[in-house]
Structure 1
Amino acid sequence: MKLNKASELIRLRIALIIGGCLVVGFMVADYMLLPADMHQLYTFDRLLLQLPIIFLMVAGSYWRGFAQYKHYLFTFLLIALTYSNYWLIWVCWHNFKFDFPYEGTILYAYYCVFALGIPFKMALMASTVNVIGFAVLMYIAPVYGDRVLISTAFVSGSLFVCAYAKYRLDRGLALLEKTNHKLLKLSKYDPLSNLLNRRALREESTKLLAFSRRHNASIAILMIDLDDFKKYNDSFGHQQGDEAIRRQSAMMKAVFKREADILGRYGGEEFIVVLSGVTEAQVKERCEALLQAWEDEEMPHAKDAKHNNMSCSIGAVLINNTESTNIDLLIDDADKALYQAKEAGKACYVLSPRR
């Protein structure tokens, strides 16, 4: 995330510098258009007003709070550049009776909105302020003669088209981001339990094992299985079976609350929890808490089930030396411990000896 923010700031600085270079480039063309006696005025506006504002923004981008306020600053930049242009149009007309072109007003808007990323609401606000300013300018200084109305309409239309285009772009990007988030969630999470799916579970567990290895920390894997789940499904139906899986998921989230705890649905009624940096006492405590959660739930089971109420069995493995193991071996050990728990009567846990 920090890298992305740094890259975005670099991109914005480059965009600002390019904007300054464009102003200089247009100066060359404008000098050829303007009468010689207006060059000093024009140079003052561009070199002492517009360019300093732009490069002040470049310098401000090194401020720690720039990213938080950048949209406000760029909106101010757009309005400031536009009104400096209005001032130049007015002075050129008032002092020299020269109708300086207004196209820069439109260019500033499109560049600030799309190159600097001013969001829609601020783009709309800036467009409104700039249109009002242009209308007032045309009222007090009818620079373009019989073209005043069409010029005002053209500037107004161009600025509001710019704002509307930004609205469509922002909306499209928001929908795309929302869709990508949904796709990412579908690719990583089991839709029924809202836990990690088997593939994502293995990926995250492998990362946690590597972390434990680097930091010489213990790692534990718990394999959890709902007891006599097929009998429950046959007796109460698959919808109730789905509800039992959701309840198992909720219980796991209530017991395993650490940010680093990895919870996943391994398949069917089987679940896996991966823990790092835990002791044997902590693993036992969490196994007992999970078993107790089902006891407190008092969900009636099938008549031919081992226990009257729904329960789960847990097989757990805890190791301190992670150098010579991998996730598949640990899951296999937890599965063997789960089998022992089933053989011991279900609704219990078995913790493999510490290795």
Structure 2
Amino acid sequence: MKLNKATELIRLRIALIIGACLVLGFTVADVLLLPSSMYSLYFFDRLLLQLPIIAVVVVFSFWHRFAQCKQFLFTGLLVALTYSNYWLIWSCWHEFQFAFPYEGTILYAFFCVFALGIPFKLAVAANTINILGFLALMWFAPVYGDRVAISIAFVCGSLFICAYAKYRLDRSVSMLKESNDRLLKLSKYDPLSDLLNRRALRELSVKLLALSKRHKVSMAVLMLDLDDFKKYNDNFGHQQGDDAIKLQADIMRSVFKRDTDILGRYGGEEFIVVLSDITKQQVAVHCDALLDKWKQKNVVHADGAKHPTMSCSIGAVIASDLRDITIDKLIDKADQALYVAKEKGKARTELVTYER
């Protein structure tokens, strides 16, 4: 994330420098067209107003809070550059009766909105201010004679198109981001339980194991299985079976709340919890909490089930020395412990210590 922010900051600085280079480029081109008597006025606007304005924004880009206010700075930059251009148009007309072109107004808008990324609402605000300024300029200084009306229409239309195009672009990017977020969630989370799916569960567990080894802390794996789930599903239907799966996930989330706790649906009615830096006593407390919460729910089970209400069995393993241990070995030990818990009557916990 920090790397992405740093890259974006560099990109924005480069864009600002490109903007300054464009101003210089147009300066060279304009000088070839302007009469020499206007040079001092023109250079004052370009070199002592516009370039310093851009330079100030570049300097602000090194401020630690630049990321929080950059959009407002860029919006201010757009308005400042545009009105410096209006001042030049006004001055050229009143002092030399020269009709300086207004195209810079449009260029600044498109550059700041799209190259610097001014968001839609601020683009609308800036372009509205700039349109009002151009209308006032044409009212008090009809620079373009019989072309005033078409000039106003062209400036207003161009700035409107700029803002509308930004709206469409922002909307498309937002929709794409939402789609990517949904796809990312689908790739990592089980849609029914909203817990990690098997692949994501294993990936995160491998990373947590590596971290636990590095810090030389313990690790535990719990495997949970809903007791007689097939009988419940056959008796009450798949919808209530799905509700039982969701309830198991809710109970797990209510017990395991640390940021490092990994909760996932392993498949069917089987779930896994992976814990780091935990004691055997703490694991036992968590397992008891899981069983107690199922008792509190008091969900009536199907006829023929081992227990009258819905319950789960838990197989748990804890390892203090993690050398040469893999996540698959821990899951296998937890699965074996779960089998023992089932054999001993279900709705109970079988907690073992990993032995080499």
Structure 1 length normalisation: TM-score?
0.99
Helix, strand or coil for the counterpart of 1:352?
strand
Matches within 5 A, 1:66-215: 66-215=66-215
Q: Are 2:224 and 2:271, in contact at CA under 8 Å, matched by a contact in 1? A: yes
Quote the residue 2:56 is aligned against: 56
1:339 is the counterpart of 2:306: no
Q: Which SS does the other structure have where 1:244 is aligned? A: helix
- For residues 92 and 211 of structure 1, the distance between their equivalents in structure 2, rounded to whole angstroms, comes to 69
For structure 2, list consecutive stretches of 5 or more residues without a partner in the other structure: none
Cα deviation for residue 323 of structure 1 reads 1.6
Deviations 1:264-304 (A, max 9, x none): 00000000000000001110000000000000000000110
Structure 2 residue matching 1:33: 3-state secondary structure:
coil
State how far apart, in whole Å, the 2-side matches of 1:191 and 1:67 are: 36
Q: Distance in 1 between matches of 2:163 and 2:33?
A: 30
Instruction: Work out the CA distance in 2 between the residues paired with 1:102 and 1:33.
Output: 15
Q: Provide the secondary structure at the position in 1 that maps to 2:32.
A: helix
* Structure 2 letter corresponding to 1:49: L
RMSD: 0.6
Q: Aligned residue for 1:65?
A: 65
Q: Deviations over 1:80-136 (max 9, x none)?
A: 000000000000000000000000000000000000000000001111000000000
**Structure 1: how far apart are the matches of 2:33 and 2:157?**
26
CA distance in 2, matches of 1:96, 1:122: 35
Q: Is the 8 A contact 2:195 2:249 kept in 1?
A: yes
Q: Distance in 2 between matches of 1:74 and 1:164?
A: 18
% same residue: 67
Match of 1:8 in 2: 8
> Aligned runs of 1:272-351 on 2, under 5 Å?
272-351=272-351
CA distance in structure 2 between the partners assigned to 1:321 and 1:161 by the alignment: 65
Q: Structure 1 regions of 5+ residues with no counterpart?
A: none
Matched, 1:35 2:63: no
Distance, in Å, in 2 between the alignment partners of 1:36 and 1:353 is 91
Residue 217 of structure 1, CA deviation = 1.1
Question: 1:239, 1:354 → 2: CA distance?
Answer: 38
State how far apart, in whole Å, the 1-side matches of 2:27 and 2:19 are.
Answer: 13
Whichever residue aligns with residue 26 of structure 1, its letter is F
Describe the SS at the equivalent of 2:353: coil
| Pairing 1:264-279 to 2, within 5 Å after superposition | 264-279=264-279
Question: How far is the alpha carbon of 1:322 from its aligned partner?
Answer: 1.2
Measure, in 2, the Cα distance between the counterparts of 1:57 and 1:27. 20
Aligned counterparts of 1:322 and 1:183: Cα–Cα separation in 2: 35
SS in 2 for 1:94: helix
Deviation of 1:353 (Å): 2.3
* CA deviation map 1:143-162 (0-9, x unaligned): 00000000010000000100
SS in 1 for 2:314: strand
Kept in 1, the 8 Å contact 2:333–2:354? The answer is no
Q: CA deviation at 1:233?
A: 0.7
Maintained 8 Å contact 2:209/2:219: yes
Cα distance, 1:176 vs. partner? 0.3
The residue identity in structure 1 corresponding to 2:223 is M
TM-score by length of 2: 0.99
How many residues align structurally? 355
Structure 2 CA distance, aligned partners of 1:10 and 1:34?
A: 36
How far 1:354 sits from its partner (Å)? 4.6
Tell me the distance in 2 between the aligned counterparts of 1:236 and 1:142: 82
CA distance in 2, matches of 1:103, 1:213: 64
